[in-house]
Amino acid sequence: MPTSNHSQQPIGIFDSGLGGLTVVKELNLHLPNERIVYFGDTARVPYGGKSAQTIIRYSREIVRALLKYKVKMVVVACNTASSLALEVLKKEFNVPIIGVIEPGAKKAVGVTRNKKIGIIATSSTIKSGKYAKNILKLDKDVRVFSQPCPLFVPLVEEGWFAHKVTYEVAQQYLAQIKKAGIDTLILGCTHYPLLKEVLGHVMGLKVELVDSASEVAVKVQELLINKKLLRSRLGPAGHVFIVSDEPEQFKRLAIRFLGGGVKNVRRHHYV
């Protein structure tokens, strides 16, 4: 278990690929002194339709790889891995681990006025029922409406954020939950914050879009304060990015998710 002596060590974050960089972006804003080791499993992305058994195996291997970098905590930035593997990881590893589901659910329950919350996510995240479970734990009177949106991830990776095809796909996917009269929509996937413009347009001004990335950053900050693990040293953070496929594609697309370029990208080889 890391102690305050470990405060200068980096935060480990992982995702199935690039999408978790939306969480890195928020952490950079909230905790600019922290160093980050980011693992993007670019060789095995997407996770969104895979089974729990596979996601647990992948996640376990990644946490092991991150621990070699002596990370003081781990953030599971991927919604699918948070839904399917977080509980197992917490039992197996002796390092603080947080996911994105609980913070996202908490934020949505705080935002809704009519107690009707929509969730959009990958198929595996929706199937796990974890968002609904976390929401109902906080407020049993909330009604939850879920919709898997598997085409959104490839559309974002293609850079089609405001493309008319994306708009049409969103209209199809969101028709039912829009009809249900929700006032809050959880963007339950790392990629969806990049579709805010289209999603906002389709859902209308009365529906608030909840993206868990900023809430996760607040939770990381609280955890580091409570455990006396905040990095005190000022100066450039010097993040490290590790990918399981060749780094070129990651370097090229990272700017979309992070809002800036990435340096120090390394290749991880599974044994």
Binding site for ligand DGL (CB under 6 A): 15-17, 19, 45-48, 78-80, 122, 125, 153, 189-191
| Nearest to 216, CA basis, from 87, 105, 126 | 105
149 is catalytic: no
Minimal distance, residue 10 CB to ligand DGL, in Å: 21
Comparison of 34 and 157: residue with beta carbon closer to ligand DGL: 157
Distance of CA 177 to the CA centre of its chain: 22
Pairing mode, strands 116-121 and 97-98: unpaired
Give 73 or 78: the residue with its C-beta nearer to ligand DGL: 78
Contact indicator for 61, 251 with CB cutoff of 8 Å: no
Which CB sits closer to ligand DGL, 125 or 146? 125
Query: How far apart are CB 144 and ligand DGL at their closest, in Å?
Result: 18
Is the link from the previous residue into 46 a cis peptide, with omega within 30 of 0?
yes
User: Where do we find the tokens 């496929």?
Assistant: 245
Q: Which segments within the chain are labelled E, that is strand?
A: 11-15, 36-40, 73-76, 97-98, 116-121, 143-148, 184-188, 208-211, 240-243, 265-267
- Residue with the shortest CB distance to ligand DGL: 48
For residue 252, the minimal CB distance to ligand DGL (Å) is: 17
From the candidates 189, 217, 224, 258, which is the catalytic residue? 189
Least distance between ligand DGL and beta carbon 121 (Å): 6
How far is residue 199's CA from residue 95's CA, in Å, rounded to a whole number?
36
CB of 19: closest distance to ligand DGL in angstroms? Answer: 4
Backbone angles phi, psi at 231, to 5 degrees: -75, 125
Contact between 209 and 185 under an 8 Å Cβ cutoff? The reply is yes
Bridge partners of residue 185, in order along the sequence = 118, 209
Residue 14 or 231 having the CB closest to ligand DGL? 14
Considering beta carbons, is residue 195 or 229 the nearer one to ligand DGL? Answer: 195
The residue from 18, 45, 78, 195 that is catalytic is 78
Residues annotated as catalytic (active site), given as ranges:
78, 189
